[in-house]
Amino acid sequence: MVAGLAAPALIGAGGLSQPSADSRSRSTRRRQWVLVIDLRKCEGCVTTGKPPQCVEACNVEHFVPRGQEWIRVLEMKDLTGHTYFLPRPCMQCENAPCVRVCPVGASYHNEEGVVLIDHRRCIGCRLCMAACPYGARVFNWGQPENPPGALFADYRPEYPVPHLKGTVEKCMLCAHRTQNGKLPACAQACPMFAIYLGDLTEDVATNGKEVVQLSTFLAENHAFRLREELGTRPRVWYVPGHGQEYGRDVRDTRTPKKPRSWQELGATLENPHGGHQ
């Protein structure tokens, strides 16, 4: 789990060691979160016969309004004509166009590098949507349905409930979960362990099943980022593949089932002050 990310800094050749002054100073540094999505593992949940579990988990975790998907599983085609699936959350760009164009500072980076939206400041101008080259933002034209009890929720940009009419929404990398040492909902729910949460500060990443050295994992597996030529410096990396580690053949023509909304899944707001568990 995420709480184990700092473990490599404390383990020496002889086993567990006492933290050095250097490791203590590292532990006080802010995390700098990234995602790594291993496309060798991602098969769109077609081999399980289920809708994409990352999307459904996100829908439940954040009570995502109907018609929205904060993480989308796109069906892509490579140069040979074969298809693969590509989950697309917010890219959490370091040089984020959405942040630069927001006239009221509603879109901003927090101290851990996550791009958040303060819906209390958002004026619904949608300049951020026009500026985002990844199509990762959506607009609430009407008043979204909120679960019972949402009126009393302790709103914060890290967990934007209740949802508001006339505001822009998107993936916020489950900032409310990572603050508490948990994986994002999409990574937690992925049955193939295809989504890794990484920390640039400690140079480690985990999918809840294994811990890897982030820089080495990216380099050895030829990881890439979407539209790097734009200079947005996304913090989401992809490892090339087509789901082969879980049995998907390049000739497989099955498409994912449609993800269900939180209403269809029967979700309720169990903890309006800390997010759905």
Q: Dihedrals φ, ψ of 80, to 5°?
A: -90, -5
The Cα–Cα gap between 204 and 191 comes to: 21
* Structure tokens, 270: 């169990």
pLDDT at residue 87 in the model: 98
The Cα–Cα gap between 194 and 36 comes to: 8
The Cα–Cα gap between 214 and 206 comes to: 9
Cβ partners under 8 Å of residue 241, min gap 6: 38, 39, 40, 41, 42, 84
Query: Which parts of the chain register pLDDT below 70?
Result: 1-28, 267-277
pLDDT at residue 4 in the model: 38
Topology of the domain covering 30-265: Alpha-Beta Plaits (3.30.70)
pLDDT at residue 28 in the model: 64
pTM of the complete model: 0.86
* Structure tokens, 24: 């203590």
pLDDT at residue 151 in the model: 82
pLDDT at residue 275 in the model: 45
pLDDT at residue 213 in the model: 98
pLDDT at residue 152 in the model: 87
pLDDT at residue 153 in the model: 87
The Cα–Cα gap between 89 and 177 comes to: 16
Residue type, 42: C
The Cα–Cα gap between 83 and 85 comes to: 7
Residue type, 209: K
Contact of 178 with 112, CB cutoff 8 Å: yes
* Structure tokens, 189: 């729910």
pLDDT at residue 149 in the model: 86
Beta strand ranges found along the chain (DSSP E): 11-12, 15-16, 33-38, 72-77, 83-88, 107-109, 115-117, 138-139, 168-169, 195-199, 204-206, 211-213, 236-239
